[in-house]
Chains A and B, each alone.
Chain A
């Protein structure tokens, strides 16, 4: 199938400042693409470029197979939901939703029918005569979605649509957007700085930093095989432990030494390790460090660690210990008894380890 959105070698400058560098993305119909990155990484600018709200400085942008590089937003067959919702303050909810159709000269009958459809789909029928100022945050969010849905576009664009909601409502709306995506089968591009939102919603994630794509992949690829230190650190909460270590070839695999404050280094053997330079950074998710004896397997190795801090978090208990001069978090069961200042036997799942080069930050395995 032809990609519905294809971005080729896109550049965007503001004067001499490069905001986006050599962006290449292609997505299929039905995809849910999430653009994620810290603030200032260019993700919102990229979305505005896709919408045609910002001209691009170089490259090409195709929607539905047609070149849209110089086409104005209204002719791109897109709909957009904004962070501030951007509802027209002086118009009723119904007028907000039908304004786009009215501008395009859609007949009254169709307008009314579509309005009813969307209103019932989003359960906002009783709000249609109100003004945006009379709505709660969650209701405004729904109206903003309604305004997009009613257009039935090729591409839905979302610019951090949930960041103005409180935590509980955010989770609710998140699953609602996901449901909407599944029932409509629509293609969506979604910008967020929240990596959990990215993981839960996306079929495909683009991680951006400083205007450069760091990695494109499915949520599990991004999570399990981060392409570099930045992605490893940015995606996942608590963040991936990144531990400086020394590697030495050892038979087919490698022998990894991690310095400890007690003096004797922790030695781990990874039988599947690729050829590694001497200095590496070991990446381990907190859930890949568990209580000793809890997990079994050839790749699981035990290590006795001095516990610095214990953080019970309900379902899990996080313990922090120092390895390689860095605080390292392990995710344990809530029943686990751990006391700061005492030793605890932990086991490390070496099959899940990521290796990164300390200088370039790139993934090595």
Chain B
């Protein structure tokens, strides 16, 4: 009985497995389309002429590829009254992100080193307080920060924005480095102390050379945060010092003239390009940064 019943049963099992496999791949493909669709629409729209956009379909490929929209987005689109395109604001973001990322990463590395390897009474409480700072909604500091920047005379300047990003970035950078350094045995520090090395010597000669992976993660995380920031940018900048996200929003929501969807899309892609590029080049580290602290270990 079982001998007779067995072979066909196994056959249908194998067949079922193949069908299941196909369903699985189709599902995964459909979801991939869902995630890719907006990017596809952005790119194709940016390459179409306004005429074609009005008459054609959202998902159709451009009949005639034109880069005019990109040129306008980069150097001619209007953000309110000025019409210089995204270019100056893109450079604002670069000038803002590079020092802010470098400073906050460096401070985070030193802090993490202290908290993880030079524990002193109260260090854990200090760390907890700093960690807590990562979670506040920034709305609660907007008003006093605006006043403080004014008092310091750096309101509406790029240094002012750098200052803000560094201050509210060190919580996370400290957390990243602390979690990384905590996994390094404290015996290493002890051995170096017996060898005669001091606080900074141990940091430079032993910990920093070990830190490349976490530096990459932290830099990517901070860069993405700062480049994509809108709240601080819109609150603490003025005409001329705005970062690219604020400029993009102004282009898209400017009410003057004809709505140029192709220019909007090109501008959006330009604003997204640096972080997208980082993601494609170093996606592995990007994911590690995202999940750091959320998944233990």
Chain A positions near chain B (C-beta within 8 angstroms): 48, 51, 53, 72-74, 78-80, 82-84, 86-90, 99-100, 103-104, 147, 159
Q: Is the CB of B197 within 8 A of A86?
A: no
Nearest Cβ in chain A — how far from B44, in angstroms? 48
Is B192 part of the binding interface, using a Cβ–Cβ cutoff of 8 Å?
yes
Check B206–A73 contact: CB distance below 8 A.
no
Which listed segment binds A: B7-15, B168-176, B183-191, B272-280?
B183-191
Chain B residue nearest in CB terms to A53: B190
Pick the contact of A103 from B187, B188, B197, B210 — CB < 8 Å? B197
**1/0 contact string of B180-213 vs chain A (CB within 8 Å):** 0000010110111111110001000110011000
Given A80-B190, A84-B187, 14 other A-B residues pairs in contact with their CB atoms under 8 A: A51-B190, A53-B190, A73-B193, A74-B193, A74-B196, A78-B194, A86-B185, A86-B187, A87-B191, A90-B210, A99-B197, A99-B205, A100-B194, A104-B196
* Contact across chains for A53 and B193 when beta carbons are under 8 A apart: yes
Query: Interface residue tally of chain B, by bracket?
Result: 10 to 19
Question: How many whole Å from B205's CB to the nearest CB in chain A?
Answer: 7
Q: How far is the CA of A159 from the CA of B192 in the complex (A)?
A: 15
- Across the interface, do B190 and A103 meet the contact criterion of CB distance under 8 Å? no
Separation of A80 and B193 alpha carbons in the complex (Å): 10
Expressed in whole angstroms, the Cα–Cα distance for A90 and B188 within the complex equals 12
Q: Which residues of A contact B188 (CB under 8 A)?
A: 86, 88
Contact of A82 among B191, B201, B205, B209 (CB under 8 A): B191
Can you name 10 A-B residue pairings with CB atoms under 8 Å? A48-B190, A73-B193, A80-B190, A82-B191, A86-B188, A88-B191, A88-B205, A89-B210, A99-B192, A100-B196
Inter-chain CA distance A111–B223, complex, in Å, is: 44
Expressed in whole angstroms, the minimum distance between the Cβ of A150 and any Cβ of chain B is 10
Query: CA of A80 to CA of B192 in the docked complex: distance in angstroms?
Result: 10
The CA of A299 and the CA of B87, in the complex, are separated in Å by 102
| Main secondary structure on B side of the interface with A | helix
Contact present for B196 and A51 (CB under 8 Å): no
Residues in A neighbouring B201, C-beta threshold 8 A = 103
Given the complex, which residues of A lie within 8 Å of B209, measured CB to CB?
90
Chain A residues closer than 8 Å to B206, beta-carbon distance? 88, 90
Which residue of B is nearest A105, CB measured?
B196
CA distance A84 to B183 in the complex (A): 13
For residue B189, give the distance in angstroms from its CB to the closest CB of chain A: 8
Please report B residues at the A interface, Cβ cutoff 8 Å.
Answer: 185, 187-188, 190-197, 201, 205-206, 209-210
**Once the chains are docked, how many angstroms separate the CA of A79 from the CA of B191?**
9
Residue among B197, B206, B209 with the most chain A CB within 10 A?
B197
Q: How far is the CA of A82 from the CA of B188 in the complex (A)?
A: 9
Cβ contact of B190, chosen from A86, A89, A90, cutoff 8 A? A86
A141 to B187, CA, bound (A): 14
In chain B, what residue has the closest Cβ to A83? Answer: B187
Residues on B with C-beta less than 8 A from A88 are 188, 191-192, 205-206
Q: Which residues of B contact A74 (CB under 8 A)?
A: 193-197
- The answer for the CA separation of A83 and B187 in the assembled complex, in Å, is 8
Q: Which residues in A have their C-beta under 8 angstroms from that of B210?
A: 89-90
Q: Are A73 and B194 in contact (CB under 8 A)?
A: yes
Residue of B nearest to A104 (CB): B196
Q: Which of B187, B192, B194, B205 contacts A79 (CB 8 A)?
A: B194
A84 touches B185 (CB 8 A): yes
Q: Smallest distance from the beta carbon of B107 to chain A beta carbons, Å?
A: 22
CB distance from B274 to the nearest CB of A (A): 31
Instruction: Tell me whether B193 and A100 are in contact (CB under 8 A).
Output: no
Structural contact, A86 and B196, CB atoms closer than 8 A: no
In contact, B191 and A80 (Cβ under 8 angstroms): yes
Taking a contact as CB atoms under 8 Å apart, the answer to whether B195 and A82 are in contact is: no
Q: For B185, what are the chain A residues with a Cβ–Cβ distance below 8 Å?
A: 84, 86
5 tightest Cβ-Cβ pairs between the two chains A and B: A100-B195, A74-B196, A86-B191, A90-B209, A86-B187
Quick check: B194 and A99 within 8 Å, CB to CB?
Answer: no
A63 to chain B, nearest CB (A): 13
Nearest chain A CB to B246's CB is how many angstroms away? 42
Q: Tell me how far the C-beta of B261 lies from the nearest C-beta in chain A, rounded to whole angstroms.
A: 53
A112, B206: Cα distance in complex, Å? 21
- Minimal beta-carbon separation of A257 from chain B (angstroms): 53
A87 to B191, CA, bound (A): 8
B211, chain A: closest CB distance, angstroms: 10
Chain B min CB distance to A253 (Å): 54
List, in ascending order, chain B residues with CB within 8 A of A89's CB. 210
A144 to B191, CA, bound (A): 10
**CA distance in complex: A73, B210 (Å):** 24
Minimum distance in angstroms from A53 CB to a CB of chain B = 5
Set of chain A residues within 8 Å of B205, measured between Cβ atoms: 88, 99
Closest Cβ neighbor of B190 among chain A residues = A53
Please give the distance in Å from A188's CB to the nearest CB on chain B.
15
- A55–B282 Cα distance when bound, in Å, is 45
B245 CB to nearest A CB, Å? 38
How far in angstroms is the closest Cβ of chain B from A190? 16
A73 contacts across to B, CB distance below 8 A: 190, 193-194
B185's nearest neighbour on chain A, judged by CB, is A84
Interchain CA distance A82-B190 in the complex, whole Å: 9
Q: Is the CB of A82 within 8 A of B196?
A: no
- Complex CA gap A100/B205 in Å reads 12
CB-CB < 8 A to A79: which residues of B?
Answer: 194
Q: Which residues of B contact A51 (CB under 8 A)?
A: 190, 194
Q: Which residues of A contact B187 (CB under 8 A)?
A: 82-84, 86, 159
Q: Give Cα distance in the complex from A104 to B196, angstroms.
A: 7
**Residues from chain A with Cβ under 8 Å of B190 in the complex:** 48, 51, 53, 73, 80, 82, 86
In the complex, chain B residues whose CB is within 8 Å of the CB of A83: 187
Shortest CB–CB separation between residue A249 and chain B, in angstroms? 56
A99 CB contacts on chain B under 8 angstroms: 192, 195, 197, 205
